[in-house]
Structures are given as C-alpha cells and as structure tokens.
Chain A
Amino acid sequence: MNPSLIQQCEALIYMSGEEGITKQSLAMIMMCAPQDIEACVEVLNARYIEHLSAFQIIETADSFKLVTVKAVHDILALHLQMKATSSLSNSALETLAIIAYRQPCTKSIIEQLRGVNVDMIVRKLVALDLIQEAGRENTPGRPILYEVTSHFLDVFHLASLQSLPILKPIESEEKDLYGKSETA
C-alpha cells in the first residue's frame, strides 16, 4: 500500500469530521479505486489499534468517519458535561424499527402493527432527525410516507439499510420464536 495514499485518506477523513466522507468521493479526490480506500482504512484502523490510539475509523450511512474510541468515552462525556448517555425509549425504538424495515411507510401501518397511537412519537422522531417525510402514498387521504434518515444510519452505526439486523424468520414452531426467552 502506498504510504502517501494512506496519509491522504486519513487527512480527508479527519477533515470531514462528523459529516463523514463517502468511499466514492474519497476515490474521486485521491484518484484511486474504491478498493484502495477500503485497504487504506483497514491499514489505518490496524495502526490505531497497534498504537493504542484514541481514534478509529467507522463506516456509517455509506460514509467514513473518524471517531474516538469507546475507552475514552467517559472522560469526554465528563468534559462535555454530558448527562448519562441519552437513550431512546422502547416505543421510539419499535417505531423506528418498523419504519426502517418497511419504509417508506405511513403512520397507519405503524399504528396497526403497534396497536397504539403514534402521532407524538413520529413527530418526536422527525424532530430528532431520525426519520423524514418521503412524499405521500397514493391512497385515499394521501397519507404522508416516512423513511429513516442518514442520521438514523449514523446513530445506529449502520453502513446502509442492508446491514440492519435480520428479522427473525417466522417459522411455524412456537418454540423457535420464544426458544431463547423460555430457557432464560
């Protein structure tokens, strides 16, 4: 691997900060193949681990980002005066999961599946920039369709929607569905 290529790659990812930079744009700027970028990131990450660096490169929403490692989370949280790691409520997570797996989908689909009103939670998720409107469905009332944002992919550390955890296949044996919890 060309050392200057690795250097360039590191600099570009560093500069892109929280917005990150895609493999394609990196390849275009550095005039090399996307595979080379992958190799660079691999070398960099290995180097970071070797030198016990505070950084690592992750891929979310198709972009590479330079992030601090988990080990320094506590001290940084203290410095930034962050309260306990903000978390998402179960209802927010369920709603997000439904949208992510079935997007674009309407509020009524979510309501049908969860059996509760989701007006407030959808509004909250839009405000958190985790979901966004994606046009309207061509059915009576033309309901608004929702889809997840790239910010969603970022906060769940997903390279793309394809990397979502696989929904457990539904099998006609009840034991399979609950096997885990019953032994627990």
Chain B
Amino acid sequence: MKFNVTIASFEGPLDLMLFLIKEKKLDLFDLNISILIEQYEAFLNQMKEMKFEIATEYISELAGLIEYKSKQLIPQEKSDFETEASEDPESIVARLLEYSAVKEASITLKGMFEERSKHFTALSLSAPVQVNVFYDHNLHDLVKAMNKVLVRYKLTTPFDIKTTFKEMSVEDRVDIILKFAKSKGKEFSLEELFSTCESLECMIVSFLAILDCIRLHTLDYINMEDTIYLKVSEAL
C-alpha cells in the first residue's frame, strides 16, 4: 500500500493513531487493526528513513497494537476461571475514543485561555489585616509569596533598566531584618519587608535571610489569605 503523508508534529502515539484512522477513514468502533498497524509501522519506518529519532513511546504502543491484534487472531477460549486480562482488549479503542474527546476539549480550552489572557486585572489593594493566630510552617507558601513579591516588583517598575554590581551578605541582611522586626514589635507582612528593598538582588538576599531566620527559629511566619506575616519568635 502506498503511504504518503506530510509530517505533522504529533503529541504522542495516540495522536498519530487518530490521525491515521482519520486519514484512512477507518471506523473506530470496528477497528481494522491490521490496517492501522501497517500504517503505523510504515509511518515509523518513514520517520526512521528521514533520520528522525523515534521516541520509545511510539514503539511501545506499536507493541501494544500487535498484542491486541494477536489476541484477536487467537480463538478465545471460554473458561470458567477466566482471570481478568492485564489489558482489556477494547482498551486501545477506549483510549483512542477518550483521547480524541480530550483532544477536542483541549482545543476549546486553548481558545478560552487566549480570550482570557486578553483581560488584565490590577493587583488587589489590601488593607492591613489584624493577625492573631498561631504560626505554622509550610515552605511552599513562602515560595509562592516570594513569587508574588517579584511580580509586584516587576509590574511597578516596568521601564527601569539598570546594571549595577553590589555585594550583599545574607548574614548582614539577617541582622537588618531582625532589627526591622524588633522595631515593628508585632507582625508585619512579607510585602512590607520587601518594600524596603531597592533592588532584585536585595530581595533575593532578603528571601535567603528569612529562610535562614526560620531555620534558626528566630522568626515565625504564618500564611493568611495569601499574605505571609512574619514576627520575631517568642522563644527568643
């Protein structure tokens, strides 16, 4: 059988199978597996000829197809002790069906994503919140908050380009932060602290310093409504 397709980029073996099924107008519900295998193999061979690297996933799916075909060829023995096969014979079809539905949905989602990204929102204007809760530890929240600080920084200084060289030590910054914390006396938000930083380097060093303080239990922190609050540890 002659085989001629333009090489499109496929998202994976199932994508390729769907393409071949569509191309050859095969019926998914009465799948002629030999034609599919033939086409699939021919495609892989063509890729090989063109010196494309074939991802192992494609070869593993080919093995799955051949297994499925061989199961179809062997007359099925009805046994009373029929154990559940490791793979449902219909699974490749079921997978293809679900995959094609998901693929279609993902195209719709893409459109929705593009529409939404054309709308901008302003950063929220938060009023000071009274905090009086216990301090827990989840480093992930801290990283998230740091990202927020960086985004805020980037948005407030969109046109500022500077090249400077500065050395800052984490130890010095720890001292400054602790002094700042003590002068505050009570909880303060991470944003508040970072507003004293005049550069990105300073923010990064501050972040490391805060991590260090938390490790040494000199600072406690808490996450409230997506804002991180810090305070001098009571143990100190």
Contacts and interface: CB of A to CB of B under 8 A. Distances in A.
Decide whether A and B assemble into one complex.
yes
Interface of A: 15-20, 56, 58, 60, 65-70, 73, 76, 79-81, 85-88, 90-91, 93-94, 96-98, 100-101, 112-117, 129, 154-158, 164-165, 167-168, 170, 172-174, 177-178, 181-182
B109 A19 contact: no
A155 B116 contact: yes
A97 B122 contact: no
B66 interface: no
Nearest to B144: A129
Contacts of A167: 101-102, 104-105
B120 interface: yes
Interface bracket on B: 35 or more
Contact of B110 (A17, A93, A170): A93
B57 A116 contact: yes
A96 B57 CA distance: 20
Contacts of A170: 97-98, 101
B116 A115 contact: no
A18 B108 contact: no
B162 to A, nearest CB: 15
Interface stretch (B11-19, B35-43, B181-189, B202-210): B11-19
B92 to A, nearest CB: 10
Contacts, number: 140
B114 A67 contact: no
A66 B95 CA distance: 41
Interface stretch (B21-29, B77-85, B164-172, B216-224): B21-29
Given A67-B120, A68-B119, A155-B116, A81 B158 contact: yes
Contacts of B55: 116
B11 A94 contact: yes
A170 B95 CA distance: 12
B159 A115 contact: no
A94 B102 contact: yes
Interface in B70-112: 95, 97-110, 112
Nearest to A164: B105
A172 B93 CA distance: 12
Given A97-B106, A101-B102, A116 B11 contact: yes
Contacts of B101: 167-168, 170
Contacts of B212: none
Contacts of B215: none
Given A81-B159, A115-B14, A165-B109, A18 B117 contact: no
30 contacts: A15-B125, A17-B123, A18-B122, A65-B121, A66-B121, A67-B120, A67-B121, A68-B119, A70-B118, A73-B119, A91-B11, A93-B107, A94-B102, A97-B102, A101-B105, A114-B12, A114-B99, A115-B13, A115-B57, A129-B144, A155-B117, A156-B113, A156-B116, A157-B112, A157-B116, A157-B119, A165-B108, A165-B109, A170-B98, A174-B29
